[in-house]
Amino acid sequence: MGSSTGAVRRSMRFHRPIVIAIGLVVAVLVGGLVPSWWCGRDADAWFRGDPVRVRGLAEELVAFEADDDHQRATGASGELTDMWGILAHQMTALGLAQVCLDHPEWRERYAPIVTRAAAKTLLPEMRSTFTAAWHGEDGMAVPESPRGHAYLSYAALALGMARLVDPAFPPDLATRQDALIASYERRLLASPTALLDTLPGEAYPTDVAAVAAAIAVHGRATGADHGAVLAHWARQVRAVQIDRGSGLVWQRMGVDGQSHDAPRASGTGLAAYFAGFADRTLAQELATGFFRQQRSLLGFGAIHEYGPGYDGPGDIDSGPVILGISVSATSFGLASARSLGYRDDFTRLFRTADLAGLPLRSGSRLRFATAGVIGNALLLAFLTSGPELAR
């Protein structure tokens, strides 16, 4: 009996390291696979444009616009002003307009809200910082100015998408958009580099991509032929605005084509989304450089902000940069991944967005709890970006 018991004990001592090793392997597998599975469980549904999820997030932004309307009706200035206000209302307009294009049966509900959101981007308080930076020159009031005022492209694009989907788009807004587009077309054709300044002495290729998107959508909405200016813009993006080594656009430049910053992923990701409205081939080229910046771990994807050989901090464009990874660029990549059909890239980036954003459902509404209004507006636009936008 004693001999038998000793043999069992020796056997247990021999097998214990194996059992521990197996346990560690199982723990690693569970720790690695379960989070990626959990955070990616909705990725395929979003990639396919699942109506329940799309409508849930759309309704969250409808509620934001309704609350903003209420504040303005009671004498407040609305929830957001300046660039944050432009971005929130513009991306709400773009996202809801894309939903209308994908689901024509919802157009009656969402199209009027697209127009209301787009119209708010023209409010003076949305551009007061830019007007001050231009020493009091209001870009909307001086359409013949030689200055770029490229920040107004965000409003111009939102208005174009509203015009595209809303049969009741107001004539006065159409007139204002026509004037803005004509001004941009003239300025772009006059610029050898196809760069327009957003601030004095500072041009952002991303903002100019939004200019091109606004011009392209205006053509779709009105039938106007903008082929010459869009071809000029695309040529100069390739010739001047892209860093040949990385395939990323320079974040900031002078209108003379000199770089003022590094080639960076956040600007490239957003530029690729905007380029998709105007030139599908160029959008794919920008996306190629962008996705070279992707880093993956345990099924999660994230985008490294700076091109090879460059480094720097985070800022308003990139959001926080942690170990080189840009929070903003990671979410921007969802748009190109979906519109260009990059399913695997979309899934990896979505897992990260899901983990960081904490999606919550309340009744018929869906929101990403940590994203705030601007984050939810951006995600609606990026998660509904479709191939029909990339011409």
DSSP-assigned letters across all residues of 50-84 = -HHHHHHHHHHHHHHHHHHHHHHHTT---S--HHH
141 half-sphere exposure, CB direction, 13 A CA radius: 10
Predicted TM-score (pTM) of this structure? 0.90
Per residue in 221-270, pLDDT (tens digit) is 999 999 999 999 999 999 999 999 999 999 999 999 999 999 999 999 99
Does residue 18 sit in helix, strand or coil?
Answer: helix
**DSSP 3-state assignment of 40?**
coil
Residue 77 has what pLDDT? 67
- Tokens, residue 147: 């200055």
What pLDDT shows up at residue 83? 87
pLDDT value of residue 270: 97
Q: What is the pLDDT of residue 93?
A: 98
Task: Find the DSSP H helices in 248-342.
Answer: 265-278, 280-291, 327-339
Residues of the chain with pLDDT under 70: 1-33, 77-79, 387-391
Q: Rounded to the nearest 10 degrees, what angle do helices 171-190 and 227-236 cross at?
A: 50
pLDDT at 30: 41
CA 132 to the chain's CA centroid:
27
Please give the Cα distance from 172 to 4 (Å, whole number).
Answer: 96
